[in-house]
Chains A and B, each alone.
Chain A
Amino acid sequence: DAGVIQSPRHEVTEMGQEVTLRCKPISGHNSLFWYRQTMMRGLELLIYFNNNVPIDDSGMPEDRFSAKMPNASFSTLKIQPSEPRDSAVYFCASTLWGTSGSLGELFFGEGSRLTVL
């Protein structure tokens, strides 16, 4: 079975440019999470969706960040305009939440490493 698929794996861009990160969750999973890993802040939750609906976006740093989930098999995280402090590894994760026997073990993608110059 395919796991969570993220693209691009690496992105180098210049300050002020728009960045779009993409995620395909595991088929059948109903919850999707975007995390950011930095040296200073560890693994922090940005936003999560349940059944394609954003549930909690309190971790989104500011209005420059936006996330969408137009359907059960695709999500995007967009940064516009990007800044050097956005440089980090962005992880997407999915899980099957709310069913018997499922307590939220997350399946992570390999991450998208973003460098903003």
Chain B
Amino acid sequence: DQQVKQNSPSLSVQEGRISILNCDYTNSMFDYFLWYKKYPAEGPTFLISISSIKDKNEDGRFTVFLNKSAKHLSLHIVPSQPGDSAVYFCAAINTNAGKSTFGDGTTLTVKP
């Protein structure tokens, strides 16, 4: 039973356009959500997060949206840059339990 799902294994966009990465979850106990970025041969690095009491969090070119009723979150990157090409992992936490559950990742390719 996969509690965090990223249904798109890959996404390709043109430089300067918007990238939208999606994530769905099933466990209603999750109350904190994070996105991580991973380059080849490196560990994932934290990108942006959102608490369940919010529906939007913005940090520069990156915005995360949360739709609690749909159990869905998305990461928007505007404008996309070639350096954004990486694998993006969605993660969810039940802050009472303390462990992060990850999706399978989406490979983003930004073409120059």
B19: shortest Cβ distance to chain A, in Å? 20
Checking A41, A55, A104, A111 against B43 with a beta-carbon cut-off of 8 angstroms, the contacting residue is: A111
Question: Do A48 and B102 form a contact, CB below 8 Å, given A91-B43, A93-B43, A105-B46?
Answer: no
Question: Do A105 and B49 form a contact, CB below 8 Å, given A42-B103, A42-B105, A45-B99?
Answer: yes
Taking a contact as CB atoms under 8 Å apart, the answer to whether A103 and B104 are in contact is no
Which B residues touch A103, using CB under 8 A?
A: 32, 49, 51, 93, 95
Is B101 in contact with chain A by the CB < 8 A criterion? yes
A94: shortest Cβ distance to chain B, in Å? 11
Which B residues touch A50, using CB under 8 A?
A: 98
Interface size class of A (residues with CB under 8 A): 20 to 34
Is B23 in contact with chain A by the CB < 8 A criterion? no
Checking A45, A55, A56, A108 against B44 with a beta-carbon cut-off of 8 angstroms, the contacting residue is: A108
B67-100 residues at the A interface, CB under 8 angstroms: 89, 91, 93, 95, 98-100
Least CB separation from A41: chain B residue: B104
Alpha-carbon distance A51/B112, docked complex (angstroms) = 46
In the A-B complex, the 3 residue pairs with the closest CB atoms: A108-B43, A42-B104, A43-B102
Is A110 in contact with chain B by the CB < 8 A criterion? yes
- List 30 A-B residue pairs with CB atoms under 8 Å apart, sorted by A's residue number: A35-B102, A41-B104, A42-B102, A42-B103, A42-B104, A43-B104, A44-B102, A45-B100, A45-B101, A45-B102, A48-B99, A55-B98, A55-B99, A91-B43, A91-B44, A97-B98, A103-B32, A103-B49, A103-B51, A104-B34, A104-B100, A105-B46, A106-B36, A106-B44, A106-B46, A106-B91, A108-B36, A108-B44, A110-B43, A111-B42
Question: Do A105 and B34 form a contact, CB below 8 Å, given A45-B99, A45-B100?
Answer: yes
Is B14 in contact with chain A by the CB < 8 A criterion? no
Is A25 in contact with chain B by the CB < 8 A criterion? no
Number of interface residues of B (CB under 8 A): 23
Q: Which residues of A contact B (CB under 8 A)?
A: 4, 31, 33, 35, 41-45, 48, 50, 55-56, 91, 93, 97-98, 103-111
Taking a contact as CB atoms under 8 Å apart, the answer to whether A4 and B99 are in contact is no
Question: Do A33 and B41 form a contact, CB below 8 Å, given A42-B105, A104-B93, A106-B46?
Answer: no
